[in-house]
């Protein structure tokens, strides 16, 4: 097993301590990777070029190290008298404090940090925790995890207002302000993303929070695509809630977080019923626990929490700032390269100059997205995402005429300039010459026929 380092590509985090490099802690930011490469249909093997970070990021080596340290002491938490149970309980609660620091949470009891399975789980929890009849305002640009939970039959939301795609960031703020102002009296919630999972464009969270608070509403931020790239602070932004997924934050072990104002969460019926969420159960009554246990029924994902905390502890604001500088250069290199390829159209909501994180979605004339993605993988060893990216309304709106889906390339800590050049060169080659192999549907995805690779 080897690691890929964006700062010192010739060194492994496991093989040497972090050096006294000007980047400081950034030298620790390496990801676990295989040194075996990936097979091509030609019979060759090449280094894998991963451009699918926005779906799931690989594991940080400090995260893998933290798990290796925790595994020998793994046990169920909170209710065990044994040594390992107490060690695991301490690790679990220390993880909660690490996440709170990472998210700039307000001091207890104002804010709570609840461990969940991911962003989708977090926002469904909040949808079941808002006051009964709460008005929810959400843009149609959102990922389905943020768009759909409010309309679920089990949600406590009342009126749900879906706002159309805004033409500018300023229009987004004004649309949210107007929708909240025109909503009925009572609790109101604005749901917004911090960075689009389709275009990477950064949303004006601070301005949206100010507008919502001026109308007496609260704000929940889907930060799943933002926090792997840039720091986010609840207290700094004024946001009331934030949701994230560990698997996008280099801790792919099935955890996530809903953090924010404790009062709505405390007053809500537990998200799940079961052990841990209860304080007392008799034949005639159930007394529910206080936060955060109230919404963490069952045996929690201790190792997932430890992994997430390790990622949060590694990705300090200083480290993220340094990584963002490097990533911005890679993103500029990728976008410039794609712009030079005939027939490539980048999807954007607010124009080429709007700030964004390391995500680029695009179409290529004459090459369907699924065929392009399959050929990049089979013939070039490059992993991208194709489809509508669980943001169907936004992606369909942005697609140029004649295209049903798009390709998404997303960057991360393990991405190198050579990877970017390989991707741009491979797309240019496919545009010029087409795929070199035949492709056919195989279990719902295009695959080379015949396929000599041993993929499984």
Q: Where are the alpha helices (DSSP H) in 340-453?
A: 369-380, 392-398, 417-433
CA angle 10, 15, 21 (to 5 degrees): 60
Q: Please, are residues 69 and 94 in contact by the beta-carbon 8 Å criterion? A: no
Q: Catalytic site residue 390?
A: yes
Under DSSP, the state recorded for 416 is -
C-alpha–C-alpha distance, residues 295 and 113, integer Å: 10
Other CB atoms within a 10 A radius of the CB of residue 238 amount to: 15
Under DSSP, the state recorded for 319 is H
Q: Say what angle helices 317-339 and 417-433 make with each other, to 10 degrees.
A: 20
Pairing of strands 134-139, 188-193: parallel
Under DSSP, the state recorded for 383 is E
C-alpha–C-alpha distance, residues 224 and 191, integer Å: 13
**HSE-CB of 63 using CA atoms within 13 angstroms:** 26
CA angle 147, 388, 444 (to 5 degrees): 120
Give residues with Cβ within 8 angstroms of 455, minimum separation 6.
Answer: 39
C-alpha–C-alpha distance, residues 347 and 65, integer Å: 38
Dihedrals φ, ψ of 210, to 5°? -60, -45
From the list 29, 134, 191, 390, the catalytic residue is 390
Question: What are residue 420's DSSP bridge partners?
Answer: none
C-alpha–C-alpha distance, residues 316 and 233, integer Å: 12
Total number of residues shown for the chain? 456
Residue 24, exposed/middle/buried by CB under 10 A (0-12, 13-18, 19+)?
middle
Pairing of strands 385-387, 406-410: antiparallel
Q: Please, are residues 260 and 240 in contact by the beta-carbon 8 Å criterion? A: yes
C-alpha–C-alpha distance, residues 193 and 205, integer Å: 8
CA distances from 352 to 258, 369, 415 (A): 32, 21, 22
Q: Which of 258, 253, 300, 297 is nearest to 277 (CA)?
A: 297
24: left (phi over 0), alpha (psi -120 to 50) or beta: left
Residues that are catalytic: 390
């Amino acid at each position: 097993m080897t690691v890929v380092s964006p700062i010192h590509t010739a060194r492994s985090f496991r093989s040497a301590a972090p050096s006294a490099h000007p980047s400081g802690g950034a030298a620790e930011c390496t990801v676990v990777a295989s040194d075996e490469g990936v097979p091509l249909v030609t019979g060759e093997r090449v280094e894998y070029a991963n451009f699918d970070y926005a779906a799931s990021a690989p594991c940080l080596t400090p995260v893998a190290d933290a798990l290796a340290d925790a595994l020998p002491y793994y046990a169920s938490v909170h209710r065990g008298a044994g040594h390992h149970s107490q060690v695991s309980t301490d690790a679990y609660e220390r993880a909660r404090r690490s996440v709170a620091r990472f998210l700039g949470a307000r001091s207890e009891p104002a804010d709570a940090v609840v461990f969940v399975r991911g962003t989708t789980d977090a926002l469904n929890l909040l949808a079941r925790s808002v006051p009964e009849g709460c008005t929810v305002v959400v843009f149609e640009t959102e990922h389905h995890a943020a768009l759909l939970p409010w309309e679920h039959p089990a949600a406590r939301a009342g009126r749900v207002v879906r706002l159309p795609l805004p033409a500018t960031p300023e229009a987004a703020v004004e649309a949210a302000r107007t929708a909240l102002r025109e909503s009925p009296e009572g609790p109101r919630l604005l749901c917004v993303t911090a960075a689009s999972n389709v275009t990477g464009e950064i949303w004006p969270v601070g301005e949206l929070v100010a507008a919502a608070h001026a109308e007496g509403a609260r704000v929940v931020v889907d930060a799943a695509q933002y926090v792997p790239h840039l720091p986010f602070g609840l207290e700094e932004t004024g946001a009331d809630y934030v949701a994230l997924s560990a698997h996008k934050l280099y801790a792919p072990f099935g955890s996530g977080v809903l953090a924010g104002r404790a009062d709505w969460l405390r007053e809500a019926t537990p998200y799940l019923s079961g052990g841990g969420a209860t304080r007392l159960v008799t034949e005639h009554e159930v007394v529910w626990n206080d936060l955060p246990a109230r919404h963490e029924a069952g045996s929690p994902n201790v190792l997932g929490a430890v992994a997430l905390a390790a990622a949060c502890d590694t990705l300090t604001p200083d480290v993220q700032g340094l990584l963002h500088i490097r990533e911005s250069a890679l993103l500029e290199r990728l976008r410039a390269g794609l712009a030079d390829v005939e027939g490539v159209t980048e999807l954007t909501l607010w124009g080429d100059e709007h700030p964004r994180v390391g995500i680029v979605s695009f179409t290529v004339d004459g090459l369907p997205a699924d065929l392009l993605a399959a050929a990049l993988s089979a013939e070039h060893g490059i992993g991208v995402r194709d489809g509508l990216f669980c943001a169907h309304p936004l992606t369909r709106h942005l697609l140029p005429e004649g295209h049903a889906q798009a390709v998404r390339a997303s960057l991360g800590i393990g991405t190198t300039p050579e990877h970017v050049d390989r991707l741009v060169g491979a797309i240019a080659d496919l545009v010029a010459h087409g795929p070199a192999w035949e492709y056919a549907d195989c279990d719902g995805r295009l695959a080379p026929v015949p396929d000599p690779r041993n993929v499984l």
